[in-house]
């Protein structure tokens, strides 16, 4: 057992944290996160130059990382600084393009922005329910249907799309964003997403049997979100602790009230639990326990991120309800992470499924 990060990952986290501290003050973060294009294209390129995108892909695919702990390191650092850049869409695209054997160089260098269009209005989380279809047209494949809440979709130049080939097997397609009808919008916690309307949109098939690749990409995305939440929870906790020590009412710091002290201690314990389950999930990536441990992590983190967000606001009092005070933006991100790639209930169902399988023996793991 060794819980120390490798030297490379420690350096990556430090470099990235330093960059984010210098380049994404909360004022700058909010100004880019909440107005078009809902991120900072110049700084996105700078982040790519730092190697942040390369850290998401395995060496065999042209990257310099790609393991669970690489992804967790990057996203935890992004989360601690509340970075609004569309890394989630990039990570999903990296996994899908790599599975399809595509060239990742334009994505990893930051030259071309990709987003992955998987979820649909009736199939928000479960790829098995995907209804978008591809059919052979006169000049090759064309796509029909609607993809919903595509993260980073408003600022992407290319899309990786999951759809059924001739209504059958799930396959992956690559599409130029300019060939689809895209309605982008800002998100309540910053950053952008888009509705993607496919109406005879020309598409290149990149992977004919994509069920396993999709699950793998979604697992990695969920792991990234857990790590992002852990980073954001750490910052939130530090912010709240500082406020409890400095805000005075009734002639003393509010942190001297036991009613708040105990809750602050509970939060601290729960954040450690969230960190632990995320470490467990990161360590199980690539094993046959990957999907189930990721679901465990996403469930626990979803519950705790909401708790931390609500207590962050409540224990601050009115000030954390304001736009001007950074805690409000951390609270929004922490709550809304549960709406991405499967919420607490969705992932709890997947954890439950193993217990509820008919004929489960007493010692089944």
Partner 1 sequence: MDLTYSPEERAFQVEVRTFLAEQLPADLSEKVRTGAELTKSDHDRWHAALNAKGWLATTWPRGFGGPGWTPVQRHIFEEECCRAFAPRIVPFGLHMLGPVLIEFGTPDQQQAYLPRILSGADWWCQGYSEPGAGSDLASLKTRAVRDGDSYVVNGQKTWTTLGQYANRIFCLVRTSAEGKPQQGISFLLVDLDTPGIEMRPIRLIEGGCEVNEVFFTDVRVPVTNLVGAENQGWTIAKFLLTHERTNIAGLGFSIQAFEQLRSFARRRRANGKRLVDDPLFAARLSEIEIDLEAMKITNLRMLAEARKTGAPGPESSMLKIKGTQIRQVLNDLARRALGPAAVPFPSEVLGGNAALVPPDQAMNAARYFNNRKLSIFGGSNEIQRNILAKAKLGL
Ligand X SMILES: Cc1cc2nc3c(=O)[nH]c(=O)nc-3n(C[C@H](O)[C@H](O)[C@H](O)COP(=O)(O)OP(=O)(O)OC[C@H]3O[C@@H](n4cnc5c(N)ncnc54)[C@H](O)[C@@H]3O)c2cc1C
In the complex with partner 1, the residue whose CB is nearer, 55 or 182, is 182
In the complex with partner 1, the residue whose CB is nearer, 111 or 246, is 246
Q: Does 317 engage in binding with ligand X (CB under 6 A)?
A: yes
What gap in Å lies between CA 304 and CA 296, rounded to an integer? Answer: 12
| Minimal distance, residue 118 CB to partner 1, in Å | 10
What gap in Å lies between CA 5 and CA 291, rounded to an integer? Answer: 23
Phi, psi of 102 (to 5 degrees): -80, 160
Which one of residues 196, 254, 300, 337 is an interface residue with ligand X (CB under 6 A)? 254
Of residues 278, 337, 276, 346, the one with CA closest to residue 68: 278
Q: Does 323 engage in binding with partner 1 (CB under 8 A)?
A: yes
Q: Does 268 engage in binding with ligand X (CB under 6 A)?
A: no
Q: Are 331 and 313 in contact (CB under 8 A)?
A: yes
10: its two tokens: 């420690």
Of residues 143, 145, 144, 150, the one with CA closest to residue 184: 150
279: its two tokens: 């470490």
Grouping H, G, I as helix, E, B as strand and the rest as coil, residue 360 is coil
| Minimal distance, residue 316 CB to ligand X, in Å | 6
Q: Does 260 engage in binding with ligand X (CB under 6 A)?
A: yes
Q: Does 273 engage in binding with partner 1 (CB under 8 A)?
A: no
**Which listed option, partner 1, ligand X, none, makes contact with residue 3 (CB within 5 to 8 Å by class)?**
none
Span between the terminal Cα atoms of the chain, in Å: 22
Binding site for ligand X (CB under 6 A): 247, 249-250, 254, 257, 259-260, 314-315, 317-318, 321
Binding site for partner 1 (CB under 8 A): 34, 119, 121-126, 128-129, 148-149, 183, 185-189, 193, 195, 197, 249-251, 254, 257, 259-260, 306, 310, 313-314, 317-318, 320-324, 328, 331-332, 335-336, 338-340, 343, 345-346, 348-349
């Amino acid at each position: 057992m060794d819980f120390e990060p490798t030297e490379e990952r420690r350096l990556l986290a430090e470099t990235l944290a330093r960059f984010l501290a210098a380049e994404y003050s909360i004022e700058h973060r909010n100004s880019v996160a909440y107005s078009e294009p809902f991120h900072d294209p110049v700084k996105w390129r700078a982040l790519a130059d730092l190697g942040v995108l390369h850290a998401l892909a395995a060496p065999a695919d042209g990257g310099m990382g790609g393991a669970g702990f690489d992804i967790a390191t990057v996203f935890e650092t992004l989360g601690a600084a509340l970075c609004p850049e569309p890394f989630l869409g990039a990570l999903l695209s990296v996994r899908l393009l790599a599975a399809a054997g595509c060239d990742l160089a334009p994505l990893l260098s930051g030259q071309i922005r990709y987003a992955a269009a998987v979820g649909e209005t009736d199939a928000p989380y479960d790829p098995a329910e995907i209804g978008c279809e591809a059919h052979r047209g006169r000049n090759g494949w064309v796509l029909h249907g609607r993809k919903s809440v595509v993260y980073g979709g408003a600022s992407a130049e290319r899309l990786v799309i999951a759809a059924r080939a001739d209504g059958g097997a799930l396959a992956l397609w690559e599409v130029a964003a300019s060939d689809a009808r895209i309605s982008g919008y800002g998100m309540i916690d910053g950053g952008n997403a888009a509705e993607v309307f496919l109406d005879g949109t020309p598409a290149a098939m990149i992977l004919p049997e994509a069920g396993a690749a999709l699950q793998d990409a979604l697992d990695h995305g969920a792991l990234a979100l857990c790590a992002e939440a852990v980073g954001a929870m750490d910052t939130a906790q530090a912010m709240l602790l500082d406020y409890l020590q400095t805000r005075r009412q009734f002639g003393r710091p509010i942190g001297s009230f036991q009613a708040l002290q105990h809750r602050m201690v509970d939060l601290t314990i729960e954040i450690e639990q969230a960190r632990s389950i995320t470490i467990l999930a990161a360590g199980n990536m690539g094993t046959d326990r990957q999907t189930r441990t990721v679901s465990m992590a996403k469930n626990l983190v979803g519950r705790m991120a909401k708790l931390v967000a609500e207590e962050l606001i409540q224990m601050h009092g009115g000030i954390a309800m304001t736009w001007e005070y950074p805690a409000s933006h951390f609270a929004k991100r922490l709550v809304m992470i549960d709406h991405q790639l499967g919420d607490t209930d969705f992932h709890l169902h997947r954890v439950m499924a193993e217990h509820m399988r008919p004929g489960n023996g007493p010692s089944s793991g």
